[in-house]
């Protein structure tokens, strides 16, 4: 089946094609997918079993009051907002993982904009990008505008450099900090600038913050604090987050959007007849997870160990390989033949499955694919397995 629009295959489908029919040279290690494999926190089982009876009920689309209060309270503590800043009724929406939320939010934004942004509204995205941003723009009938996020820009997109007429027809901009795949983090000043730009041109800022709790050094700032520090309220901004990375619960499919109450109210109305709800026992897990920081601190400790090992094993060839956020290594392997070549060799010679960077990005208006020289390695396995994968990579690149 093919789509009427130019939707690319998922990076993982493309990876499957690249290595189809090739036997792995050693027992396989898969570090291609950003799925944390650290243990499920201890409290999840007891909370789920206590809430089991609620599986018989259809959950409310806006979540339980306890869920919304837990999300709002966590975000206020985490991002240094005054208690009560986030609207407990309309300022939080549960999502079946943040991915479907990013998709549906885009459909809603374009629909709400109507003709106000002209016949061909634009959606801005960084390049490389998380695949759903482009798919959502295409599905909404908007033009996905790729803005390169290269090393010289600190791996963050410079939306402020775009022509004014393009910004004027922009409905929403996706921004990810910490970024996938590069792990770049936008500081508060940069986020403030983005909020100002969005407000000046009347577009929504969709801030993808699902890696916000996986960091080294200093906890990343978020768009909610930026919106308030620029002045006013949360109008025009939505932060997306989830339990997937913070709490090793990718399979629970529980995310949330926080921000502009007017937008979230309209979006909830559409979701009420279209979107998947989050089961109430899973919402109970979220309440417990957001009240607990111990498991998050332990996660960061494990990632720290893996990054220290990566610096030891690969640091001579990749001096700046430890990013401030996220759990990926984004390695420029151009001098070894580029992302696809190295990915294919790694699988064939060493049984290590990574993603070619070019599959996480696309050619921009200049015809350049900014990810094609890179590979992405997810540091999600145990410390031992991750070290084994990195040692094999080191051999292949020697």
Ligand X SMILES: Cc1ncc(COP(=O)(O)O)c(C=O)c1O
**Residues in the site for ligand X, rule: CB under 6 A?**
34, 97-99, 130, 176, 180, 208, 210, 242, 244, 250, 255
The residue (of 255 and 338) whose beta carbon lies closer to ligand X is 255
Total residues found in the chain within this entry: 398
Cross-strand pairs, 143:
122
CA distances from 166 to 119, 123, 143, 174 (A): 12, 10, 10, 15
Tokens 């309209």 found at: 266
What phi, psi does 149 have (nearest 5°)?
-120, 85
The residue (of 13 and 89) whose beta carbon lies closer to ligand X is 13
Q: What is the nearest approach in angstroms of ligand X to the Cβ of residue 359?
A: 14
Would you say 75 and 239 are in contact if contact means Cβ atoms under 8 Å apart?
Answer: yes
The residue (of 314 and 360) whose beta carbon lies closer to ligand X is 360
The residue (of 32 and 98) whose beta carbon lies closer to ligand X is 98
Q: What is the nearest approach in angstroms of ligand X to the Cβ of residue 380?
A: 10
135 Cβ neighbours under 8 A, 6+ residues apart: 7, 103
Q: What is the nearest approach in angstroms of ligand X to the Cβ of residue 207?
A: 11
Q: What is the nearest approach in angstroms of ligand X to the Cβ of residue 178?
A: 9
The residue (of 87 and 209) whose beta carbon lies closer to ligand X is 209
Q: What is the nearest approach in angstroms of ligand X to the Cβ of residue 181?
A: 8
Q: What is the largest CA-CA distance in the chain?
A: 58
Q: What is the nearest approach in angstroms of ligand X to the Cβ of residue 243?
A: 8
The residue (of 130 and 267) whose beta carbon lies closer to ligand X is 130
DSSP letters, 334-360, are GGGT-HHHHHHHIIIII-EE-EEGGGG
For residues 358-391, b (16+ Cβ closer than 10 Å) or e, as one string?
bbbbbeeeeeebbbbbbbbbbbbbeeeebbbbbe
Position closest to ligand X via CB = 97
State the alpha helices, DSSP H only, in the chain.
11-19, 44-50, 65-78, 98-113, 131-139, 164-168, 188-201, 223-230, 243-246, 261-274, 280-290, 294-314, 339-345, 383-396
Q: What is the nearest approach in angstroms of ligand X to the Cβ of residue 303?
A: 15
The residue (of 10 and 274) whose beta carbon lies closer to ligand X is 10
Would you say 226 and 258 are in contact if contact means Cβ atoms under 8 Å apart?
Answer: no
């Amino acid at each position: 089946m093919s789509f009427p629009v130019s939707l690319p295959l998922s990076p993982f489908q493309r990876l499957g094609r690249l290595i189809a029919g090739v036997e792995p040279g050693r027992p396989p290690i898969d570090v291609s997918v950003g799925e944390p494999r650290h243990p499920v926190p201890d409290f999840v089982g007891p909370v789920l079993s206590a809430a089991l009876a609620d599986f018989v009920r259809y959950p409310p689309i806006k979540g339980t009051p306890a869920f919304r209060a837990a999300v709002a309270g966590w975000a206020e503590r985490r991002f240094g907002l005054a208690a009560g800043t986030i609207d407990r009724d309309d300022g939080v929406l549960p999502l079946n993982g943040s991915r479907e939320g990013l998709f549906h939010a885009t459909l809603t934004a374009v629909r709400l904009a109507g003709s106000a942004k002209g016949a061909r509204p634009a959606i801005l995205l960084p390049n490389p990008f998380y695949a759903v941003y482009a798919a959502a723009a295409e599905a909404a009938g908007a033009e996905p505008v790729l803005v390169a996020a290269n090393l010289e820009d600190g791996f963050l997109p410079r939306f402020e450099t775009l022509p004014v007429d393009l910004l004027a027809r922009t409905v929403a901009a996706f921004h990810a900090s910490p970024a996938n795949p590069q792990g770049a983090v936008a500081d508060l000043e940069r986020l403030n600038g983005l909020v100002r730009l969005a407000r000046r041109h009347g577009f929504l800022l969709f801030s993808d913050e699902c890696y916000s709790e996986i960091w080294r050094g200093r906890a990343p700032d978020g768009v909610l604090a930026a919106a308030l520090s620029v002045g006013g309220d949360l109008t025009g901004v939505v932060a997306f987050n989830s339990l997937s990375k913070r709490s090793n619960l990718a399979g629970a499919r529980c995310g949330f959007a926080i921000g502009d109450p007017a937008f979230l109210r309209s979006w909830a109305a559409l979701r009420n007849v279209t979107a998947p709800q989050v089961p109430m026992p899973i919402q109970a897990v979220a309440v417990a997870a957001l009240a607990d920081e111990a498991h998050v601190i332990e996660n960061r400790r494990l990632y720290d160990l893996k990054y220290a090992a990566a610096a030891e094993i690969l640091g001579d060839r990749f001096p700046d390989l430890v990013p401030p956020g996220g759990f990926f290594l984004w390695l420029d392997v151009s001098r070894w033949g580029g992302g696809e070549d190295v990915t294919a060799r790694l699988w064939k010679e060493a049984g290590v499955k990574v993603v070619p960077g070019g599959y996480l990005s696309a050619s921009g208006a200049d015809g350049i694919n900014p990810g094609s020289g890179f590979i992405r390695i997810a540091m999600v396995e145990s410390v031992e397995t991750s070290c084994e994968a990195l040692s094999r990579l080191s051999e292949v690149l020697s």
